Amino acid sequence: MTWAVGIAALVIGILAGHFGWGRSWRNPLARLHPDYLTGLDYLVNEQPDRALDMFLKLMDANTDTIETHFSLGALYRRRGEVERSIRIHQNLLAREGLASEHREQALLALAQDYLRAGLLDRAEGLFLEVSHVPRLRTTALDALRGVYERQHEWQQALDVYRSLVRIEAAPPPLVAAHYLCELAAEAIERGDADAAGRLLREADLEVSPFPRAALLAAQLAERSGDTDRAVRLLREALGLAPQLMQQELPHLLRLVDEKGRQLLLADLVTQSSDDADALKRFVFSAILAGQADAPLLRTPIARVVAADPTLCAVWRATPDGQGPGPDEVGRVAHEIGALLANAEKYRCRECGFGGRNFYWHCPACHSWDSFETYAIVKLG
Ligand SMILES: [Zn+2]
Last residue of a domain, one of 126, 152, 178: 152
Closest to 234 measured CA to CA, from 224, 289, 250: 250
pLDDT tens string 29-75: 445 566 666 666 666 566 777 777 877 776 665 667 788 889 889 98
CA of 345 to the centre of ligand 1 (A): 14
- Cβ proximity of 67 and 85 under 8 Å: no
Residue 24 lies inside a defined structural domain of this protein: yes
For residues 19 and 307, which has the higher predicted lDDT (pLDDT)? 307
Domain shared by 7 and 121, yes or no: yes
Sign of the dihedral defined by the CA atoms of residues 363, 367, 372, 375, in that order: negative
Q: In angstroms, what is the C-alpha Rg of the chain? A: 29
Q: How many domains does the chain fold into?
A: 2
Whether 371 is in a domain gets the answer: yes
Q: Is the pLDDT of residue 308 over 90?
A: no
- Using the mean position of ligand 1's atoms as its centre, give its distance from the Cα of residue 359 in Å: 10
Q: What separation in Å is there between the alpha carbon of 371 and the centre of ligand 1?
A: 8
Q: What's the pLDDT score for residue 327?
A: 65
Distance 347 CA to ligand 1 centre (A): 8
Structural domain boundaries enclosing 40: 2-152
Domain boundary pick from 107, 137, 152: 152
Among residues 261, 258, 286, the alpha carbon closest in space to that of 272 is found at 286
pLDDT at 379 over 50: no
CA distances 205 to 260, 287, 380, Å, are 33, 37, 48
User: Is 82 a domain residue?
Assistant: yes
Mean pLDDT of the chain, nearest integer: 85
Give 230-262 pLDDT, tens digit per residue: 999 999 999 999 889 989 999 999 999 999 999
Q: How far is the CA of 356 from the centre of ligand 1 (A)?
A: 14
Cα 357 to middle of ligand 1, angstroms: 13
- Same-domain pairing of 251 and 142: no
What residues contact residue 141 under an 8 Å CB cut-off, 6+ apart? 127, 131, 160, 163, 164, 167, 169
Q: How far is the CA of 342 from the centre of ligand 1 (A)?
A: 21
Answer whether residue 80 shows pLDDT above 50. Answer: yes
| Shared-domain flag, residues 146 and 245 | no
Residue 2 predicted with pLDDT over 70: no
Quick one: pLDDT at residue 357? Answer: 87
Report CA(110)–ligand 1 centroid distance (Å). 25
Q: What is the pLDDT of residues 167-193, one digit of tens each?
A: 999 999 999 999 999 999 999 999 999
Among the candidates 85, 120, 152, a domain finishes at 152
**Per-residue model confidence as pLDDT tens digits over 12-24:** 555 555 444 444 4
Q: Is residue 205 part of a domain?
A: no
Residue 169 lies in a domain: no
Does any domain span residue 186? no
Q: Does residue 141 sit within a domain?
A: yes
- Please return the burial class of 127, using the count of CB atoms within 10 Å of its CB with bins 0-12, 13-18 and 19+: buried
Mean pLDDT of 334-352: 87
Residue 38 lies in a domain: yes
Same domain, 114 and 15: yes
Higher pLDDT, 24 or 358: 358
Ligand 1 centroid from CA 238, angstroms: 22
Helix/strand/coil (H/E/C) assignment for every residue in the chain: CHHHHHHHHHHHHHHHHHHCCCCCCCCHHHHCCHHHHHHHHHHHCCCHHHHHHHHHHHHHHCHHHHHHHHHHHHHHHHCCCHHHHHHHHHHHHCCCCCCHHHHHHHHHHHHHHHHHHCCHHHHHHHHHHHCCCHHHHHHHHHHHHHHHHHCCCHHHHHHHHHHHHHCCCCCCHHHHHHHHHHHHHHHHHCCCHHHHHHHHHHHHHHCCCCHHHHHHHHHHHHHCCCHHHHHHHHHHHHHHCHHHHHHHHHHHHHHCCHHHHHHHHHHHHHHHCCCHHHHHHHHHHHHHCCCCCCHHHHHHHHHHHHCCHHHHHHHCCCCCCCCCCHHHHHHHHHHHHHHHHCCCCEEECCCCCEECCCCCECCCCCCECCEEECCCCCCC
Residues 276-304 pLDDT 10s? 888 988 999 999 999 988 999 988 988 88
Same domain? 246 vs 146: no
Could you tell me if 114 and 14 lie in one domain?
yes
Distances (CA, A) of 169 to 98, 148, 173: 30, 17, 11
C-alpha atoms less than 13 angstroms from C-alpha of 369 in its C-beta half-sphere: 17
- For residue 256, the CA-to-ligand 1 centroid distance in Å is 35
CA of 244 to the centre of ligand 1 (A): 17
pLDDT of residue 19: 47
pTM of the model: 0.82
- 375 pLDDT higher than 70: no
- CATH number of the domain to which 134 belongs: 1.25.40.10
**Residues 260 and 147 occupy one common structural domain:** no
More confident residue, 145 or 357: 145
Q: Tell me: the pLDDT tens digits for 116-141?
A: 999 999 999 999 999 999 999 999 99
